[in-house]
Amino acid sequence: MTDPNALVGLETRDDAVVYALDPEHAIVQTVDFFTPVVDDPYWFGRIAAANALSDIWAMGARPLFALNVVGWPAQKLPLEQLGEVLRGGAESARLAGISILGGHSIDDPEPKYGLSVTGMVHPARILRNVGARPGDRLLLTKPLGSGIASTALKRGLAGAELESRAVELMAALNRTAGEVLALSLAVHALTDVTGFGLLGHAWGMAEGSAVRLVLAAQAVPVLPGILELAARDVVPGGSRANLAWVEPHVRFAPGLPAPLRQVLADAQTNGGLLAALDPGAAERVLAGLRTAGVQAVEVGEVAAVSPGDQPGIDVR
């Protein structure tokens, strides 16, 4: 990456790229799409679009507009269903306060949907997934469990209650959380919890910030029923791979149950924001989030790396 206007690129696995236009304006750009996580095409569209938008808020930015990205098996599935997917996507865009202005579709053996989203941020206000400092408090704005819930749904093992909770959770925009956190001016590092799970995204923050993140496992919110499903091995392959990948960087408290370890690495669809906050502002920001209707929870703190030790995660 040699372009001097590229302020954030791929180097720390951040959520989106940021490109400076002038000293006061930078473009934030992201693209995200995937195969259906739920059967209902309208809710698939809602969730996929909300998930793509999330990376804009995770940079402290605001979205401006989006483009649809569509793969559709036109011979196998009726176009009315694609219409429902796009209607869901448009609803998430409306809730984000933006419009979908165009897009591109191809014939594809498997349905795929998502957005390319363009946002804007002041270059001095960019929030990155790095920059956490020792003493910072860690907040998480949504409970975990959507990956395991989706797998349970596909295998017919989820009840109606879990289904509606999981769909609601995955479709919920990170807009309010992102706006409150950006306005607080107290965030040192921010990311959204998606495919790599809480531990995977926390590891990205720890490594890039050269700190240790100390998570209080019992404080991490989890959808009801998810730990039981994990104990029965109802776990997506991606979440299993996450745990194997991140484990060399994590010290689990002895006796921390295996299902809980797995849930902490569960691949999330449009999961919550993970923020490292200035400790002096943590209570105020937490209260602000709750007043705005975001069920944010403090899940731990940031610690310095002791001499001879490595950046990583401690789960207590």
Binding region for Co ion (CB under 5 A): 15, 32, 55, 192, 194
Smallest distance from Co ion to CB 129, Å: 8
Least Cα distance to 249 among 309, 299, 189, 188 occurs for 309
Smallest distance from Co ion to CB 133, Å: 21
Smallest distance from Co ion to CB 192, Å: 4
Smallest distance from Co ion to CB 197, Å: 12
Using an 8 Å Cβ cutoff, are 189 and 275 in contact?
yes
Using an 8 Å Cβ cutoff, are 303 and 145 in contact?
no
Nearer to Co ion, 55 or 207 (CB): 55
Smallest distance from Co ion to CB 249, Å: 19
Burial of 221 (0-12, 13-18, 19+ CB in 10 A): middle
Least Cα distance to 145 among 271, 293, 39, 50 occurs for 271
Nearer to Co ion, 129 or 184 (CB): 129
**Count of CB atoms situated within 10 Å of the CB of 173:** 20
Nearer to Co ion, 194 or 269 (CB): 194
Q: What is the rounded distance in angstroms from the CA atom of residue 278 to the CA atom of residue 16?
A: 23
Nearer to Co ion, 48 or 227 (CB): 48
Give whole-number Cα distances, 234 to 153, 154, 293, in Å. Answer: 10, 10, 31
Q: What is the rounded distance in angstroms from the CA atom of residue 293 to the CA atom of residue 106?
A: 39
Nearer to Co ion, 196 or 252 (CB): 196
Smallest distance from Co ion to CB 305, Å: 25
Q: How are beta strands 312-315 and 212-215 bridged, if at all? A: parallel
Nearer to Co ion, 116 or 151 (CB): 116
